Amino acid sequence: MKQARPISAADAAALVRSGDWLDYGATFNQPDLFDTALAARKAELRHIGIRSALATRPRAILETDPAGEHFFWFSWHMGGYDRRKHDAGISHYIPCNLGEIPDYYRRFIDPVDVVVIKTRPMDESGHFNFSANHLWYRAIIERAKTVIVETSTSMPHVFGEQNSLHRGEVDYVITGDNAPMPQLPNPPPTDIDRTVARLIANEIEDGSCLQIGIGGMPNAVCSLLQESGVRDLGVHTEMMTDGIADLYRAGRISGSAKQLYPGKIVYTFALGSQALYDTLDCNPDFHMLPIEYVNLPDIIMRNDRVVAINNTTQLDLQGQAASESDGHRHISGSGGQAQFVRGAYASKDGKSFICLSSTYEKGGVRKSRIVLDLTLGNIVTTTRSDMMYVVTEYGITNLKGKSVPERAKALIALAHPDFRDQLAREARENRLIPRHYV
């Protein structure tokens, strides 16, 4: 049986050998003292692979190894820091549906040599709470040869299921530095965000069960719902956001109409402001569950009136959404978008919304996000067959049941007026719209 023995960060880092695979977990569960101590051993080590997701602070192992000669960083989902390291050629994406990751660890990935995850300090019952991230941690720990926790009192204590480690599962404990929690900035919504959000909010009914993705538009929906008359909303979402916490504090979320965990706000990880973390701390209304439960479509669909709201960055005229890359430059990841799109559609009276602004600027030139063909190298996140509602500032359309010509015409109507004639011409030239089709 494991002993949960105290250890210094330096001694913990000394356990790592060249060729090892490590796992750092995700967001604010990534270790800091251990990371710094491991970076100090750079000259002694070769071919260290580290799996991670959404780094929220600079990683010492990458900052001290800018050429990527010693440490290889692999991400299940990229944030801004991971993206910058990807641009530098030292961070690499792992394609996935986020809700399937536990299965990858259990079936396809060799046992991890060392997993190091930041947790709350051990409580009176001998458990180390994961705080507001559950994700795929249990699956890693089941398969890890050495389990190390780095503790922090700054993280909120959250309630849920399987969201802690017992001391009998832990080899070593590093007493952490209790640094403040990293926060995800929430820029105010733009006028376009509000216009898109208003169209979506009009489709949301009393008792709907929300999934809110990351970004300004989905969070703007939450702001508008506070101003609307909608009541008794439920939440079953991958990411707990500030927008959802605002709705909760405004009294719009009761969960009374949910079939799964009625009265509970279900999520698998949180990232946002300190106000969000304070809302989650020791709050029994919020219930954190493993990602294989939260994200699988056959689970999502068991709630009625599921409403999934997610962003994309580019959409072609057949309805394919590219939400994670700009050509061969990786931006974020598939996340749970495709899983929630499918789960929401399969839900009784469910709705899935993919939202985007009609244009963006690149190099001082305005470009359309709705295009004939996706940018070369762009990754399709949501397929045309899965696409339901599409929303821009120019309107909303449901693509389910529409033919290719009908889709093309509907999406052209959602494009910026400056690009509609060109898109219509391209659609006809490439036989998406028949010559004499009205």
Catalytic residues: 238
Burial (0-12, 13-18, 19+ Cβ within 10 Å), 315: buried
Q: Cβ distance 204 to 225 under 8 Å?
A: yes
Q: Cβ distance 258 to 305 under 8 Å?
A: no
Q: Which amino acid is at 376?
A: L
Alpha-carbon span 60 to 38, nearest angstrom: 8
